Homo-oligomer: A and B are copies of this chain.
Amino acid sequence: MARKKEYIEEEVIEKAMNLFWRNGYETTSVRMLEKEMGINQFSMYSSFGNKHGVFLESIKCYKKKAKEELIDKLKQSTNGVEAIKEYFYNFIEFSKDTKINKGCLLTNTVNELGEHADTVIMSEIIKFATGIKSHIIKKLESDEQKDSKTIVKQANYLMVSLQGLSVASKMFERQQLEDFIESVFKSL
């Protein structure tokens, strides 16, 4: 009855996501997306509505990828606090690019769009951050000695440190990042 799509939406969104990850939202033009995704603007707009829609799906794609490559590993590990440290190191690998790292797409987005960021996108980001935090808390709780108050404080500390690692990975050398991670976990 109708013609078939010549592309798989999930596949082209992953390409879009990588472009947004490298360049940010504003700097990524629809023409660039066209080329990278390998589809026409018409197809883009009929599949995802507008540039914003492409970005929103890219965010979801990123979350899925980060879940598979980072969060699931954290969840499965039985190493307690050491597992969180591994998460930090895994993140550096996860965000690797040509020489300079790409950071975390979600952190990049908040940093770029700030309060101008769409509420739907912001809620996606907050949900993700909340998820990571609760997993960190679980790992901290495996250390019996800690009371709940210090656990919350340490979780906050680790979350901000993670942000720091994301930004710093875009400008600092590997050694400095490792120094940072080691120092962060020395105090726990």
Interface residues of A (CB under 8 A from B): 24, 26-27, 99-100, 103, 107-108, 110-112, 114-116, 153-154, 156-157, 159-168, 170-172, 176-177, 179-180, 182-184, 186-187
Contact = CB atoms under 8 A, between A and B. Distances in A.
Contacts of A157: 179-180, 183-184
B112 A24 contact: yes
A26 to B, nearest CB: 5
21 contacts: A26-B26, A99-B115, A100-B114, A100-B115, A107-B167, A110-B170, A111-B111, A111-B112, A114-B170, A153-B182, A156-B172, A156-B176, A156-B179, A156-B180, A157-B183, A159-B176, A162-B164, A163-B168, A183-B187, A186-B187, A187-B187
A183 B165 CA distance: 16
Specify how many copies of this chain sit in the oligomer: 2
A164 B156 contact: no
A40 to B, nearest CB: 26
Nearest to A112: B112
Nearest to A157: B183
A169 to B, nearest CB: 9
Contacts of A184: 157
Contacts of A186: 187
The 3 closest A-B CB pairs, nearest first, are: A164-B164, A187-B187, A157-B183
Nearest to A129: B171
User: Among the interface residues A100, A108, A183, A186, which one has the most CB atoms of the partner chain B within 10 A?
Assistant: A183
Contacts of A100: 114-115
Contacts of A108: 111
